[in-house]
Amino acid sequence: MKPSSDPVARALQEHVEIVAYDPAWPQRFAAEAAHLRSLLPGELIGRIEHFGSTAVPGLSAKPIIDMLVEVRALEDVAQHIAPLLREHGYEFFWRDTEPGLPGIAYAWFIKRDAHGRRTHHIHCLEGRSSGWERLLFRDYLRAHPAAAQEYDALKRRIAAEHPDDRKAYAKAKTGFIRRVMKAARRGAAHW
């Protein structure tokens, strides 16, 4: 497949690699959170959370730290945050609708190492965004090892089936994610 000149299409064609859990991932998250706080004006950002598979102890994952960053407004991301992070080598992506979350605008960044490998995904959300429900998924997998093991096996299988198609890889996880989110929401109602 010929690499695309479109940054989004090019990002979607990058190789999907699943690796064993690395106990250094929480420290990599903490270091990047501190780095972001040092770069960005405090009045523009709020909480920063580690989510996704690298945030679940023992779970295999793509070796990319997923982070949710609370922003005052998505307009601040485009106007103030993106220029600052671009100066430091982050790639900026904007979508009017977040995949899987209709009606939610979506801003995110990719940070890469010196070899061009992704190291971090920084997803920016307003505090009232339903996108924060991703933390329910993380917390459910942390609390339910059998579900985490099932997810681990699923991700390994579909990464082998779709090694260079991140969109197909993500789509193949949808049924499992919906099922877990349904259970997580039921559980959250009892917390």
Q: Give me the DSSP letters along 167-183.
A: HHHHHHTHHHHHHHHHH
pLDDT in tens, 27-46: 999 999 999 999 999 999 99
Residue 101 clears pLDDT 60, i.e. is over it: no
pLDDT of 16: 87
Q: What mean pLDDT comes out for the span 45-67?
A: 97
Contact (Cβ atoms closer than 8 angstroms) between residue 95 and residue 10: no
Q: How many helices (H) and strands (E) does the chain have?
A: 8, 5
**In the chain, where the domains are located:** 7-189
Nearest-angstrom CA–CA distance, 168 and 163: 9
Contact (Cβ atoms closer than 8 angstroms) between residue 13 and residue 165: yes
Say what the pTM is.
0.88
Nearest-angstrom CA–CA distance, 148 and 140: 9
Task: Indicate the fold that domain 7-189 takes in CATH.
Answer: Beta Polymerase; domain 2 (3.30.460)
pLDDT of 136: 96
pLDDT of 4: 40
pLDDT of 75: 92
